[in-house]
Amino acid sequence: MSESTGSPPGGGTPTVLVLDAPPPAPPPRLGALTGRARVLHADAESVARLLPEADVLLVWDFLSDAVRHAWPGEGARPRWVHTASAGVDRLLCPELVASDTVVTNARGVFDQPIAEYVAALVLALAKDLPRTLDLQRERVWRHRESQRVAGTRACVVGSGPIGRAIARTLKALGIATALVGRTPRTGVYGADDLDRLLARADWVVCAAPLTDATRGMFDERRFGMMQPSARFINVGRGQLVVEDDLLAALSKRWIAGAALDVFEREPLAPDSPLWTAPDLLVSPHMSGDTVGWRDQLGAQFVELYGRWEAGRSLPNVVDKERGYVPGH
């Protein structure tokens, strides 16, 4: 989706405020804006003070909640906010949603990396690789039978570009894959079909945006309807899952295993029971972050900035009411 962002400022050099990620890790590629923008850097402390003077906000620290707390409401504020992430859940507050500020996301950068990551998890679980690594550590030679993935069934929840890339990759491995979105369309099942598809899936993959409609959608009821042989994989947002319900489902063997790359609270606390839950693979929110990703994210912002300063329409515009970039 692409739409006009109104116009860049009439005169003078626009101010771009960058909310940096800690430890101070500013985006690469912003050198391209030299002479075209005044670039200021903020952290969670200073962002509230600097926001009113910014024309553009680049949310580089996409794990931060700082913007939603610092957003100036009716006061002077950026007309355009770009986040270096696919999800915008941490960013949107009612005042930002209500405002005429345009929000764009990093649509496209993470699709293929996350699809590969999900394929890696599916294959690792099917081939029992975690157990193989455990046995290697113990120097124990123990042959086991593993599973074919071709001919199994996956249900991918979330029909944006990431979900679609996951579905394409799983299909390429011979997995019969159903894609579920909010509303049915060609190649995509609607929310009404979800429970029926979950009940027959060998692999349930969550790549949905976090919105009021999806928060906590994977709960006791839904884990209870999955097959005992099913595995659940979450690469969306932690809050899509009721973590206690997943823990119970795993310990009661309602499902055969799970892999989480995202969590209700990140980083995951050292004393979280998730680290040691049976048949649960924990990874630190890294599914989309392949070598070169920061560079790609920086380049994407520079490209969008060029469009914005020329008064052209921006791609990847978030529907702030829905909480994601609507697409075909």
Q: Residue numbers of the site for its own copies (CB under 8 A)?
A: 112-113, 116-117, 119-120, 123-124, 126-127, 129-130, 132-133, 135-136, 139-150, 169, 172-174, 266-268, 270-272, 275-276, 281-286, 289-291, 293
CA 93 to chain centre: 18
Smaller CB distance to its own copies: residue 172 or 213?
172
Smaller CB distance to its own copies: residue 72 or 293?
293
Cα(159)–Cα(42) distance, integer angstroms: 34
For 75, residues 6+ apart whose C-beta sits below 8 A from its C-beta are 52
Cα(30)–Cα(42) distance, integer angstroms: 15
Smaller CB distance to its own copies: residue 139 or 328?
139
In whole angstroms, how close is the CB of 235 to its own copies at the nearest point? Answer: 12
- Helix 111-126 × helix 129-137 angle, to 10°: 60
Q: In the 8-state DSSP scheme, what is residue 168?
A: H
For residue 32, report the phi and psi dihedrals to the nearest 5 degrees: -65, -15
Smaller CB distance to its own copies: residue 73 or 278?
278
Q: Peptide bond preceding 267: is omega within 30 degrees of 0, i.e. cis?
A: yes
Cα(169)–Cα(122) distance, integer angstroms: 11
List the one residue out of 69, 107, 81, 66 whose CA is nearest residue 17.
Answer: 81
Polymer length in residues for the chain: 328
In whole angstroms, how close is the CB of 19 to its own copies at the nearest point? Answer: 18
In whole angstroms, how close is the CB of 204 to its own copies at the nearest point? Answer: 19
In whole angstroms, how close is the CB of 94 to its own copies at the nearest point? Answer: 31
Smaller CB distance to its own copies: residue 274 or 318?
274
Token duo for residue 173: 């491995």
Q: Which residues are catalytic?
A: 237, 266, 285
In whole angstroms, how close is the CB of 311 to its own copies at the nearest point? Answer: 35
Smaller CB distance to its own copies: residue 103 or 149?
149
Cα(30)–Cα(47) distance, integer angstroms: 19
Cα–Cα distances (Å) from 244 to 88, 241, 273, 277, 278, in that order, read: 25, 9, 9, 11, 13
In whole angstroms, how close is the CB of 62 to its own copies at the nearest point? Answer: 12
